[in-house]
Structure 1
């Protein structure tokens, strides 16, 4: 046991103190983000909105995320990631507190758009921060540690959130969400010393190398794969809680425990799993493929049995896919980003998840409303099989020397 413990701890060694601090602030932020997993339940049960209305509210969520990540990427390149992160956290904290006072459908659409617009400017900035504060060769593990903090917060947040809903009310979550975001911004401002990005350290005038992400055909294929995979992944955070309640009659506290499984497994196993996969030299593109494949299986197993234990199996499969796919896809996006354009490339990468929110929640809600849960899971499985095929094509393209434009702007074979 001692050797296992030492091997586990060794996976965290060598990371900079700034990465640890970013991870701590991210944990505080995500621990408070307990409203999001219960948002669809809140909108149906407390506000009385229909499933199609909830779908449109979540589309507004996605539109805000899309605009916010785009602006966040631009601002990261122009004013730096530090200011973007601090202001995003603080203003979104205020927004979460105010959100509880909105009652109308159109008002909620506008409010959720504005809130997520500010909140998701954080996304590209935190990726660039991870790259900036990482020691050489530690970027993937640094991203993994930040993801671990996100998932630790995400595992604790919904668990506490479910208990609070069951014992107090939904509205108390908005206060906790807002206050923790504000605390995270203050903590970052007080404890983290600003640092210029690696490109800025070479001179105040940043020379943009390579080409725009929108003109990089291989990167755009990667972007499409991320959007399509994300559309299916977000079903776990809007349609799935309703499925747990309506098809398996779970209460909010039990739903919180299911999400706790996701976060707890990632916290315990993701870092050693990533270290092991890196030692096995699993390519970033094949890791992306396996992430998609496991997500697909997690949906189809829901139709195997009406036994509620299958929900745990599905959650574990989705979690394993997330652990394998997400850190490597993040690292792949950074690896494909030319110097001076990292904010734009990572902004587009983050926008893939925003687009997923725009189409995923609305599409999922309307599919369930029209076809039921069983058929919806079948359609999602078939769709993800096709996306898995596209990821294998991406793997093939990135193995061809003429297809890759790495960070130095020179065409060569990439380590993907």
Structure 2
């Protein structure tokens, strides 16, 4: 029954896009093994491999932050296709380039992947009307998480049976097929290029008139640094307490399983609830997850931590993405999504060095600090939710003036 209700509000084009996202995520296993590839077949020392990987991460963040600008000016579907083709071609030939060229080629591939991510979110936002975006983004996230759950073990099989080079070839070909699928199955949607030109591309006035969005973006920036400690310092912490990689693998399995099981039903059940309150509660749950480690780390507290982190993710990620889309005027929809996409992956570059520095210098401070930051960010969003939210109003933007017209008062 729940699936039927979701299908009734999410357009067919989003389901078709989700099918492509699932396949693309299924073959996007190179990000898991890139460090092993650089230190193994490529023979780079650990420090140099870390530098190349870090540059790739910066490329990913830059793509997320700028992809929406391209979409606002040239059309989100068009930008998605161009970036997917570019990423696919670069990944497919990456094993052939010399080591020195990896400093440029890997960041370019990651940049294109970041543009794909931002354009994908913006495309969903323009395909789906307000009121159904939470469910639509939940469908896309479920497809992506499903692919990522299956992809890494499949990638390990490819790497051990064939070679690491084939990981990149398969990822590149899969990304090209994703572009072909999207071009064939997802209908073109009118870009808002003329609106962007008419408005002069001004982003800051729109953000300034929506302080709750600014609060949300700041909170997500902070929480992403905290949330991604589960991929960086958390496994190190588990190992220090006698829990090896197998235990950590089961922790990640808990994360993926709960997301696949609960995210769509939760999005449907909470669709009429105020979004910022849901996001704030989700961020607080992330903080509570790390707080569970403060008394001491044993298997039970580790499982509790991962469960709370996952429940927090289920509450805040889809809802925050949809909230930003609902708040964005048409002519800057892509840039709003780019801002959210960028801050929501900032931890991929910053979480490891910052968390590692705290763990190395004051290990007892790491989890209390994570808990305080996440709970503080959640409380800020909850306070912002007390302001009048804009989804119940229609914004009319033109020239230098922006007016809010309540639904039913004017046409």
Within the candidate set 279, 291, 297, 2:288 is matched to 297
Q: Assess, with a 3 A threshold, how the Cα gap between structure 1 residues 266 and 72 changes in structure 2: closer, same or farther.
A: same
| Residue number in structure 2 paired with 1:131 | 125
Report deviation, 1:24.
0.6
The 5 A counterparts of 1:136-147 are: 137-147=131-141
| Residue number in structure 1 paired with 2:180 | 186
Q: Assess, with a 3 A threshold, how the Cα gap between structure 1 residues 216 and 139 changes in structure 2: closer, same or farther.
A: same
Within the candidate set 19, 27, 31, 2:14 is matched to 19
Aligned length: 397
2:331 is paired with a residue whose SS is coil
Report deviation, 1:282.
2.4
Deviation per CA, 1:96-136: give whole Å up to 9, x if none.
345556896x8655444222111111123112211232256
| Residue number in structure 1 paired with 2:380 | 390
Deviation per CA, 1:161-180: give whole Å up to 9, x if none.
45666777655533333332
Do the aligned partners of 1:89 and 1:119 also contact (CA within 8 Å) in 2?
yes
Do the aligned partners of 1:298 and 1:317 also contact (CA within 8 Å) in 2?
yes
Q: Assess, with a 3 A threshold, how the Cα gap between structure 1 residues 55 and 376 changes in structure 2: closer, same or farther.
A: farther
Report deviation, 1:331.
1.3
Report deviation, 1:220.
2.6
| Residue number in structure 2 paired with 1:276 | 269
Q: Assess, with a 3 A threshold, how the Cα gap between structure 1 residues 238 and 406 changes in structure 2: closer, same or farther.
A: farther
Within the candidate set 225, 233, 239, 1:231 is matched to 225
RMSD (Å) for aligned C-alpha atoms: 3.6
**Whole-angstrom CA distance in 1 between matches of 2:25 and 2:231:** 15
Q: Assess, with a 3 A threshold, how the Cα gap between structure 1 residues 399 and 217 changes in structure 2: closer, same or farther.
A: closer
| Residue number in structure 2 paired with 1:330 | 321
The answer to whether 1:381 aligns with 2:371 is yes
**Whole-angstrom CA distance in 1 between matches of 2:300 and 2:107:** 36
Q: Assess, with a 3 A threshold, how the Cα gap between structure 1 residues 107 and 238 changes in structure 2: closer, same or farther.
A: farther
| Residue number in structure 2 paired with 1:320 | 311
The answer to whether 1:151 aligns with 2:135 is no
2:320 is paired with a residue whose SS is helix
Do the aligned partners of 1:59 and 1:362 also contact (CA within 8 Å) in 2?
no
The answer to whether 1:357 aligns with 2:348 is yes
Q: Assess, with a 3 A threshold, how the Cα gap between structure 1 residues 161 and 275 changes in structure 2: closer, same or farther.
A: same
**Whole-angstrom CA distance in 2 between matches of 1:76 and 1:41:** 34
Task: Give the TM-score normalised by structure 2.
Answer: 0.82
Report deviation, 1:273.
0.9
| Residue number in structure 2 paired with 1:79 | 74
Higher RCO (Cα < 8 Å, 6 or more apart): 1
Deviation per CA, 1:174-230: give whole Å up to 9, x if none.
333333222211222232232214x57xx7886439853554461333221121111
**Whole-angstrom CA distance in 2 between matches of 1:247 and 1:175:** 39
Report deviation, 1:284.
1.0
| Residue number in structure 2 paired with 1:122 | 116
Deviation per CA, 1:310-343: give whole Å up to 9, x if none.
4443322222111110111011111221231111
Do the aligned partners of 1:36 and 1:237 also contact (CA within 8 Å) in 2?
no
Report deviation, 1:21.
0.7
The answer to whether 1:88 aligns with 2:83 is yes
